[in-house]
Amino acid sequence: MGEEEYGLRLYCLRLSDEVVLLLNGGIKTTKKADDCPNCRKHFQFANRVAQAVNEAIVDKRCIILGKKLIMNDYFIEL
């Protein structure tokens, strides 16, 4: 790995001790993911997903039941 490469990125959204969402992050080529042409879209998408899932849990459009994430038909529009 060269000096300008920072490795593969994965974004993790921990919802409970049993439920974790993993999102692609791409290969990072800059120190900040939002500045990286490879990671920017993944980073922004992961942030939108995290915000939408958190809001859906608060609004009861999504619930965590054991190891399951249960969503209704109106869960999200990204």
Long-range contacts of 2-7 (CB under 8 A, 24+ apart): 4/29, 4/30, 5/29, 6/30, 6/31
pLDDT in the model for residue 9 = 80
pLDDT in the model for residue 26 = 85
Q: How confident is the model at residue 62 (pLDDT cuts 50, 70, 90)?
A: confident
Nearest to 7 by CA among 41, 40, 39: 39
Chain position carrying tokens 């974004």: 11
pLDDT in the model for residue 20 = 93
| pLDDT one-digit tens code per residue, 6-59 | 677 889 999 999 999 999 888 888 888 888 888 899 989 999 989 988 888 898
Per cent of the chain over pLDDT 90 is: 32
